[in-house]
Amino acid sequence: MVTIKTREELQIMHEANQMVGTILAELKDLIRPGVTTIELDTYAEERISRKGALPAFKGFRDYPNTLCTSINSGIVHGIPSKRQLKEGDILSLDLGVIYKGFYGDAAMTYAVGKISPSVQRLLDVTRSALYMAIDQARVGNRVWDISKAVQQHVEKNGFSVVRDLVGHGIGKSLHEDPKIPNYVNSREERSQTLELREGMTLSIEPMVNQKDWQIRLLDDNWTTVTRDGGLSAHFEHTIAVSNNGPWILSEVADNNSIGVFDNMQTRSV
């Protein structure tokens, strides 16, 4: 069941996601060769606590940490450790919080020191695919439009989208309906996918592989990596659908954009 958020609930979700976006930006400044991912995890948990929130991932299905830290061929759900980052690595950070009963969720992939132009291109294409997808999150469009935007941009640039992992709705639960694939199912017509309505909140998250889209799960039962060992990038924002266009809740900004919902009419789906 898809939940429609009230204006008041959207305001709380904005606050939660601003925390996530702010902490991810702070973590970017800490990333350098020699830093361990457990140090980043400790920093994130302390910052969440100071902001009066709770880590969303820690304890979720027994996940042991606050951050997901996926390095190089890691796609998602990498567990922080004493592993030191090296020059030329890429690091995907996925962070979630719980604040006043609602979830915030976002992810970024960062370079460690200098990376090659080809690796930078992977990051750039994945990030731009996210914003192209967000632009499709408009009232009257469908989940299909979001999925198509990601797949088309990624494949046009010679990369592949992960098919076994998807974006999702979000609110009082970390994972709500609908599921948001990063590709279009050829057996599913556009009209068969969910129509987007004002008040829906979605976590859109392209996961893009340098080579083949197939994945494998490591022995820790969390860390998901590319099957062929190629690099992977992951970018995610939580957004709200409004009649005035998508509102990126987790993008850090000085202004509060709740005004896009001034004429909102709350209804259920």
| pLDDT 10s digits, 96-144 | 999 999 999 999 999 999 999 999 999 999 999 999 999 999 999 999 9
Nearest Cα neighbor of 2 from 149, 179, 136, 138 is 179
Q: Would 268 be classed as within a structural domain?
A: no
Is position 260 within any domain? Answer: no
In a domain? residue 32: yes
In degrees, rounded to 5, the angle at the alpha carbon of residue 145 between the alpha carbons of residues 111 and 236 is 25
How far apart (Å, rounded) are the C-alpha atoms in residues 64 and 207? 22
How many percent of the chain have pLDDT more than 90? 92
Q: pLDDT-derived band of residue 253, with 50, 70 and 90 as boundaries?
A: confident
Residue 262 lies in a domain: no
Residue 267 lies in a domain: no
Provide the whole-model pTM: 0.94
| CATH assignment at residue 37 | 3.90.230.10
Number of other residues whose CB lies within 10 A of the CB of residue 23? 27
Give the pLDDT band (50/70/90) at residue 256.
low
Domains: count for the chain: 1
Between CA 123 and CA 44 the distance in angstroms is 23
CB 102 within 8 A of CB 13: yes
What is the residue range of 199's domain? 7-254
pLDDT of 32 reads 98
Report the candidate in 119, 145, 134 with the shortest Cα–Cα distance to residue 233: 119
Show Cβ contacts of residue 42 under 8 Å, excluding neighbours closer than 6 positions: none
Residue position matching structure tokens 């017509």: 189
Would you say residue 266 lies in a domain? no
pLDDT of 266 strictly over 60: no
List, for residues 136-184, the tens digit of each pLDDT value.
Answer: 999 999 999 999 999 999 999 999 999 999 999 999 999 999 999 999 9
Q: Is residue 259 part of a domain?
A: no
The residue-averaged pLDDT of 39-58 equals: 98
pLDDT tier at 265, thresholds 50, 70, 90:
low
What would the mean pLDDT of 186-196 be, rounded to a whole number? Answer: 91
Report the SS3 class of residue 124.
helix
Of 162, 124, 129, 174, give the one whose Cα is nearest residue 148.
Answer: 129
pLDDT reported for residue 210: 98
In this prediction, what percent of the chain has a pLDDT beyond 70? 95
Cβ atoms of residues 68 and 138 within 8 Å: no
Asked if residue 267 has pLDDT above 90, the reply is no
